[in-house]
Amino acid sequence: MTSHLNFRSLDLNLLRVFDEVMAERSLTKAAHKLSITQPAVSNAMRRLREVVGDELLVRSGQGVEPTPRALALWPSVRDALALLQESLAPGNFEPATATSTFVLAMADATAATLVPPLVQIIEREAPGISVRVLPLTTRDPRRLLDEEYADMAVGYFPAALADLTARAQSGGAVAYDSRRLYDGEYMCVMRQGHPLATGELSLDTYCAARHMLVSFSGRPFGFIDEALASLGRTRRVVITVNQFFTAGRVVVGSDLLTVLPRHFVPVTGIADALVQRALPFDVPPVHVDALWRRRGPEQTAMAWLLQALAQAAQHSGPGIHHAALPK
């Protein structure tokens, strides 16, 4: 039997509610974003279910999960809504006349690398633009983006991006986009004149030293410790700080070792007082990515911001392997 859908009688608001529920995976959060009540969202989803003739949601833990029918429907609905919004309220972003404010979340090392060249780009191309930089205190910024504290997060998010990739590959809905900006590497950093500044830096010597950890969240166990654990080794962390700048300042006046991004050392202002040594074990490269919600600010504005950040990365110093500029 063929289902006949009368588009003349279809309430397009149902599609707007569906799109928000799919993005949030929660009726309550969708209601908050839409400024309507949760029962109104439930009623809209019931009406849409009757229209399409299939179940769209199933309860799951604290929220809801889409059915295969909903997953198949969402991309078309999202694209149609975006096209409709663009037609009714064109989001043409003109950098020269724009007065937008972008909120970026990034660590101090990332900000020190990207913000100086970004400011030059803004002054040249978009003098009316404002940027606010928030401290990044997590390796998974999705909550920051979901709660609209930031428009975009820039940093090293291996677990979050792996989770998003796995969801997409399994057919799940993903409400985020990401773009690689650059790759870097971590180095062992110490003061000039440190006993380990010359000669062999072996794994045994490294593990026997006293260390300082940079942890955005304050967790006293980082990816360096995970790499050592995979080798059956440990190190002694005597102090944990939450900023790379602080780590550089502490190291220069002590015998502690720390680990910093190679590209960050030149912008510390004290590079001449520091020594960089290769780590005596393998660690993955630093992938610095931009992550943002697809339902964030207008897409043309976000596209310009992404292009500007990529250009800023191209003008950064040594120790960075640049990604291709977005088209």
pLDDT digits (tens, 9 = 90+) for 137-148: 888 999 888 777
Q: Which pLDDT score, from 0 to 100, does residue 309 have?
A: 96
pLDDT digits (tens, 9 = 90+) for 177-203: 899 999 988 999 999 999 999 989 999
Residues 80, 191: one domain?
A: no
Q: Is the pLDDT of residue 327 over 90?
A: no
Least confident of 102-111, 170-179, 236-245: 170-179
Final residue before a domain boundary, out of 27, 54, 88? 88
> Which of helix, strand or coil describes residue 322?
strand
DSSP string, 49-114: HHHHTS--EEEETTEEEE-HHHHHHHHHHHHHHHHHHHHHS-----TTT---EEEEEE-HHHHHHH
On whether the CB atoms of residues 274 and 221 are closer than 8 A, the answer is no
On whether the CB atoms of residues 34 and 14 are closer than 8 A, the answer is no
Q: Which pLDDT score, from 0 to 100, does residue 284 have?
A: 84
Mean pLDDT of 282-288: 88
* Percentage, residues of the chain above pLDDT 70: 89
More confident residue, 233 or 6: 233
Which helix (DSSP H) or strand (DSSP E) does residue 186 occupy? strand 186-191
Supply the pTM of this predicted model. 0.71
Tell me the residue range of the domain where 273 lies. 186-277
For residue 6, what pLDDT band results from cuts at 50, 70 and 90? low
Residues 206, 177: one domain?
A: no
Mean pLDDT score across all residues of the chain: 87
On whether the CB atoms of residues 10 and 44 are closer than 8 A, the answer is no
**217 lies in some domain:** yes
Residues 72, 216: one domain?
A: no
Which helix (DSSP H) or strand (DSSP E) does residue 190 occupy? strand 186-191
Residues 177, 292: one domain?
A: yes
For residue 1, what pLDDT band results from cuts at 50, 70 and 90? very low
| Structure tokens belonging to residue 195 | 């006993």
Residues 115, 193: one domain?
A: no
The amino acid that residue 123 corresponds to is: E
Q: Is the pLDDT of residue 217 over 80?
A: no
Residues 270, 192: one domain?
A: yes
Final residue before a domain boundary, out of 64, 88, 112? 88
**94 lies in some domain:** no
- Residue whose entry in the numeric block shows the structure tokens 């310009």: 304
Q: Which pLDDT score, from 0 to 100, does residue 4 have?
A: 56
On whether the CB atoms of residues 234 and 207 are closer than 8 A, the answer is yes
**225 lies in some domain:** yes
Q: Which pLDDT score, from 0 to 100, does residue 204 have?
A: 97
